[in-house]
Structure 1
Amino acid sequence: MSSLAPFPETPLIEGIRPLQIGNVAIGFPVVQAALSGYSDWAMRVLARRMGASYSLCEVMLDQFLVGLKDRRRTQHFLYNTPEEHPVAGQLMGAEPEQFSLGAQKLVEAGFAVIDINFGCPVRKVLGRCRGGFHLSQPTVALEIVKRTRDIVPASIPVTIKMRRGIDDTTESRDRFYEILDGAFAYGIAAITVHGRTVEQRYIGPSRWEFLREVKRHVGDRIILGSGDLFSARDCLRMMQETDVDGVTVARGCIGNPWIFQQARALFAGQPIPPPPSLFEQREVILEHFRLAEELYGEDRAGVPMRKFGIKYSQLHPESLAVRAEFARVKNLQEWKSVLEKWYSEDLPGIYPQYSELESECE
């Protein structure tokens, strides 16, 4: 995990520029998305070391933040360090007043950007009038935007994550643009648009042509694209096909932080590095567990790391067998045992396959 050269001010590929969100200079325009249950401090630090110039923490509920006490078992939610900055705190909720109070908690925790989640398609979230549900009610959505922008200091950018609407009806499309235009009018610095509807969840392709339409509509305002970014080539292709200002990698970077390294090479006009060998994977996987121990404590890191082990297994040529082993890990010793058994020979890795239906909240 070597140090990274800064993204050049003069782009090596025509049309690609360094990303800027408000007064926060991001640089390399491929960033790590907020991923519920995944994008904790450990994952974000690894992404940063592997080439992500910016990341977002996993989404947090406003009511949870408002009532949050300074306790060992919950401190990981707001934990961030200088190594990973700039990093954004993402917030989700239902009521405008409580939402803004939650945003204030993220400011106090030191996040460089505050991101509003109007995109989560998970059913239990929608049922509680949160996330993507707000795309059905522009008045409430824009009240949340206004209150959040008012309570967050002017020096800290506020951004939004949206999907292209609740569904593909004309009414849904009109509401999307009402929220989009209204949010920019209230001083939102950037908006990330996922190319699927809330109703689609993760089924069917992300509609990239809609991103191109949105970018044409907003002109010089900052739009980031999201949806179906599973490789470095996907990242470059989305930017070239849609003219968005940056892309946020979600499911494609879970267990595969090398995607940022590969994207940096591609954007610099270099060949894409091959998939990491098993020894390269072993080094990063072991470091991920060490970071998780630092975040959660030795006695609690094992269980949350299982889901990462399962994702890392996708890069192993014996992925199904390795996946089964990681799924049973309880502690560092068992983690090391899996590495000793399956990563003891420096074989070539493989690019991960994304054929299964997944439902992370992004």
Structure 2
Amino acid sequence: MRIGPFPLASPVVLAPMAGVTNVAFRTLCRELEQARVGTVSGLYVCEMVTARALVERHPVTMHMTTFAADESPRSLQLYTVDPATTYKAVKMIADDGLADHVDMNFGCPVPKVTRRGGGAALPFKRQLFGQIVAAAVRGTEGTDIPVTVKFRVGIDDEHHTHLDAGKIAESEGAAAVALHARTAAQRYSGTADWEQIAALKRHVQTIPVLGNGDIFEASDALTMMAMTGCDGVVIGRGCLGRPWLFAELSAAFTDNPSPTPPNLGEVADIIRRHGELLTAHFGEDKGMRDIRKHIGWYLHGFPAGSELRRALALVKTCDELDSLLGRLDPTAPFPAAAGGPRGRQGSPSRVALPDGWLTDRDDCTVPVGADVMHSGG
């Protein structure tokens, strides 16, 4: 599979996840893939940043766009609602050499986002959606930076938008599209509807279609591709606490033996390395606060004990992290119960939308304030 000029030996993309897929996590995933299968073969996408905040060069946003020196291609995801701001942001990325690939986020189901017409609400406004994609593509003129687009099935079961969104993105010059096979109303609950990925693949003819949703093992990715005909997969919650999943996926797609899952001692070493990388990126105080959420995912299913888990959830320094991890049983094998979803799931609910949002699909009015609240990433 290719994303624009970039061939991917393994058709696997790390989904941008807020507060997760920073340079530390991406580096860790790449290191583990290299160590376990001898190559880095997929695409690792930076956490989402806001187009307006990027144009304003907000310090927090600029720090979020940090890439490792050996990271290639550098992949950046934008949240945007305004064609004019989109063009400025992508042109800035191109002119300043900030990234090699731009992905566009139209899949966020969070109420504070959809309530103002952003995220998964926006593809319903098909002309505005097309103008935004076209503006992003126009911002890359004269470069080989590909623009890709990620979206959901729709707002809810009565308002599917993915087929129109796929065709529009294709016609406006997107290099690939990715579908999270849930509606915004589902959020992260229930089961992803892979048949919608198959429908999108049948509908979009000239660019790759990637599938996202409920891939927790390498075998899930192979099954999704066989069932839907999609060209690649996007991995989100399945890699939380399992950054070595990309090595397993790489092995599966190249017909090589799957790496042995790590025992608890190896997981402890991975946590230590993650803590080091976070500290290098954020400083020790924020780095240790950030590692806390990951520890719960890493230890899912392992025997650790409630007292030690509580202590790790309050860890403040790298030395303390090292000491606490030393109390784990290094011989404990990787548990069968460690599979399945991690992170936020939530429950289905009605999607919050601006007043009158569903009355005119061809209204091109830019949502008011939908990007202000995200200034800074």
Q: TM-score, normalised by structure 1?
A: 0.86
1:68 to 36, 46, 57: 57
Structure 1 CA distance, aligned partners of 2:178 and 2:305? 33
Further displaced range: 73-82 or 133-142: 73-82
Q: Which residue of 1 aligns with 2:368?
A: none
Question: Residue in 2 aligned with 1:146?
Answer: 134
CA distance in 1, matches of 2:68, 2:333: 33
Q: Which position in structure 1 is the counterpart of 2:145?
A: 156
What is the DSSP-based 3-state SS (H/G/I as helix, E as strand, rest coil) of the residue aligned with 1:166? strand
* TM-align CA RMSD: 2.1
Residue 165 of structure 2 aligns to a residue in which SS? helix
Instruction: Tell me: higher relative CO, structure 1 or 2? Use CA pairs within 8 A at least 6 residues apart.
Output: 2
- In the TM superposition, residue 320 of structure 1 has moved relative to its aligned partner by 5.6
CA contact (8 A) 1:202 1:357 kept: no
> Following the alignment from structure 1 to structure 2, what is the Cα–Cα distance between the partners of residues 306 and 88?
26
Task: Say if 2:104 and 2:149, in contact at 8 Å, map to a contact too.
Answer: yes
User: Is 2:13 aligned against 1:34?
Assistant: no
String of CA shifts for 1:41-78, please: whole Å, max 9, x gaps.
Answer: 00011111223621111111122212224x5x665301
- Give, as a single letter, the amino acid of the residue that structure 2 aligns with 1:133: A
Note closer, same or farther for the CA distance 1:337–1:111 as it changes in structure 2 (3 Å cut).
same
Cα distance in 2 for partners of 1:118, 1:185 equals: 17
Within a 5 Å distance, the mapping from 1:155-304 to structure 2 comes to 155-169=144-158, 172-173=159-160, 175-304=161-290
- Partner SS, residue 117 of structure 1: strand
Q: In the alignment, which residue of structure 1 is the partner of 2:83?
A: 96
The answer to whether the 8 Å contact 1:276/1:350 transfers is no
Match of 1:341, SS state, is: coil
The farther-off stretch of 192-201 and 334-343 is 334-343
- CA change 1:59–1:269 in 2 (3 A) is same
Shift of the 262–49 alpha-carbon distance from structure 1 to 2, 3 Å rule, reads: same
| Maintained 8 Å contact 1:163/1:193 | yes
Counterpart amino acid of 1:46?
L
Which residue pairs with 2:48 in the alignment?
59
What's the CA shift string for 1:99-158, capped at 9, x where partnerless?
222233443353111011011111111123211111221111111111111112341000
Gaps of 5+ in 1: 1-18
- Could you give the per-residue CA deviations for residues 283-320 of structure 1, whole angstroms, max 9, x where no partner exists? 21111111111111234311112111221111523376
Q: Is the 8 A contact 1:239 1:246 kept in 2?
A: yes
Query: Percent of pairs identical after alignment?
Result: 32
1:177 is displaced (CA, Å) by 2.3
Aligned residues: 336
CA contact (8 A) 1:41 1:76 kept: no
SS of 1:188's partner is coil
**Counterpart-to-counterpart distance in 2, 1:35 and 1:319:** 29
Q: Offset of 1:96 from its aligned partner?
A: 1.8
- Cα distance in 1 for partners of 2:246, 2:307 equals 26
Gaps of 5+ in 2: 34-40, 347-377
Q: Partners in 1 of 2:145 and 2:203 — Cα distance? A: 25
8 Å CA contact 1:161, 1:191 repeated in 2:
yes
CA spacing shift, 1:355–1:22, aligned 2, 3 Å: closer
Range with greater deviation from structure 2 (108-117 or 322-331): 322-331
